[in-house]
A and B are shown apart, each in its own frame.
Chain A
Amino acid sequence: MAKQILGLSEVNGSLVVYRNVEDVSNEEMVQIALSDGSIRNGRVVQIEGDTVIVQVFEGVLGLSKTNSKTKLLGHPMEIALSKEVLGRTFSGSGRPIDGLGPVYAEKFADINGKPLNPVAREYPKNYISTGISAIDGLNTLIRGQKLPIFSGSGLPHDKLAVQIVRQAQLSGDDADNFAIVFGAMGVKNDVADFFKKSFEETGVMEKVCMFVNLSNDTIIERIVTPHCALTTAEYLAYECGMHVLVILTDMTSYCEALREFSSSKGEIPGRKGYPGYLYSDLATIYERAGIIKGGKGSVTQIPILTMPNDDITNPVPDLTGYITEGQIVLDRSMHLNGIYPPISPLSSLSRLMKDGIGEGYTRKDHQDVANQLFASYAKVVDARSLASVIGEDELSDTDKRYIEFGKLFESVFIGQGFSAKRSVNETLNLGWALLSTLPKSELDRLDGELIKANYDPEHARHTIELALKGE
Chain B
Amino acid sequence: MENVIYSINGPVVTVKDTSDFSMMEQVYVGHKRLMGEVIGITDARTTIQVYESTTGLKPGEPVEGSGMLLSATLGPGILTNIFDGIERPLNKLLEIDGAFISEGQSLTALDSEKKWETKILKKEGDKVKGGEIFATCPETPLIEHRSMIPPQVNGEVIEAKGDGAYTAFETLLKVKDETGVVHDIALSQKWPIKTPRPIKEREMISIPLITGQRVIDTTFPIAKGGAAAVPGGFGAGKTMLQHQIAKWCDADIIVYVGCGERGNEMTQVLEEFSSLVDPKTGNLLLDRTTLIANTSNMPVAAREASIYTGITLAEYYRDMGYHVAIMADSTSRWAEALREISGRLEEMPAEEGFPAYLPSRIAQFYERAGYVKTLNDTEGSVTIIGAVSPQGGDFSEPVTQNTKRFVRSFWALDKSLAYARHYPAVNWNESYSEYMDDLSDWYYQNIAHDYSKLRSEMVAILHDETELNEIVKLIGADVLPEDQKLTLEIARVVRVGFLQQNAFHPDDTYVPMEKQYKMLKVISYLYAQSKKLVAKHIPVSLIQKTGIFEDLIKIKYDIPNNNIALLDTYFDKIDTALASIE
Contact = CB atoms under 8 A, between A and B. Distances in A.
Interface string B5-34: 011111000001000000000000000000
B60 interface: yes
Interface string B332-370: 010011011001001001001100000000000000000
B296 A378 contact: no
Contacts of A28: 56
Most chain B CB within a 10 A radius of its CB, from A27, A76, A275: A27
A378 B99 contact: no
Nearest to B299: A115
Contacts of B266: 118, 121
A390 B346 CA distance: 56
B93 A117 contact: yes
A275 B496 CA distance: 43
A226 B546 CA distance: 60
Contacts of B67: none
Nearest to B418: A349
Given A113-B100, A121-B267, A444-B553, A390 B392 contact: no
Contacts of B258: 118
A262 to B, nearest CB: 10
Q: What class of interface size applies to chain B in its complex with A?
A: 35 or more
Contacts of A312: 392
A149 to B, nearest CB: 15
B53 A112 contact: yes
Nearest to A375: B421
Contacts of A445: 421
B94 A117 contact: yes
A312 to B, nearest CB: 8
Interface in B250-304: 258, 260, 262-264, 266-268, 270-271, 293, 295-300
Contacts of A119: 82, 90-91, 93-94, 267, 270
Interface stretch (B72-80, B162-170, B375-383, B467-475): B467-475
B563 interface: no
Given A26-B8, A123-B268, A374-B421, A447 B352 contact: no
A457 interface: no
Contact of A110 (B55, B99, B262, B474): B55
A347 interface: yes
A61 interface: no
Given A113-B100, A118-B295, A283-B260, A268 B472 contact: no
B205 to A, nearest CB: 32
Given A117-B93, A121-B267, A48 B56 contact: no
Main secondary structure of the interface of B (DSSP, over half): mixed
Given A23-B60, A280-B296, A321-B234, A271 B264 contact: no
A316 B383 CA distance: 34
Interface in A368-400: 371, 374-375, 378, 385-386, 389-390, 394-396
B57 interface: yes
A267 interface: yes
Interface in A249-285: 267-271, 275-277, 279-280, 283-284
Interface string B399-439: 00000000000000000000111000000000000000000
Interface residues of A, number: 83
A5 to B, nearest CB: 16
A441 B260 CA distance: 44
B58 interface: yes
30 contacts: A47-B58, A47-B59, A49-B7, A114-B102, A115-B295, A116-B100, A116-B297, A117-B101, A118-B90, A118-B263, A118-B266, A118-B267, A119-B267, A124-B264, A275-B343, A283-B297, A287-B263, A287-B296, A292-B99, A315-B392, A318-B392, A321-B234, A322-B234, A322-B389, A327-B234, A351-B235, A374-B420, A375-B420, A378-B419, A447-B554
Given A47-B8, A119-B82, 17 more contacts: A46-B8, A49-B59, A115-B100, A116-B99, A118-B263, A118-B295, A119-B94, A120-B99, A123-B267, A238-B99, A268-B346, A270-B352, A321-B234, A321-B235, A375-B421, A390-B475, A441-B550
Interface of A: 22-28, 46-50, 76, 110, 112-124, 144, 238, 267-271, 275-277, 279-280, 283-284, 286-288, 290, 292-293, 295, 312-315, 318-319, 321-323, 325-327, 346-347, 349, 351-352, 354-355, 367, 371, 374-375, 378, 385-386, 389-390, 394-396, 441, 444-445, 447
Closest 9 CB pairs of A and B: A313-B392, A283-B296, A378-B420, A321-B234, A287-B297, A120-B99, A114-B100, A346-B419, A118-B266
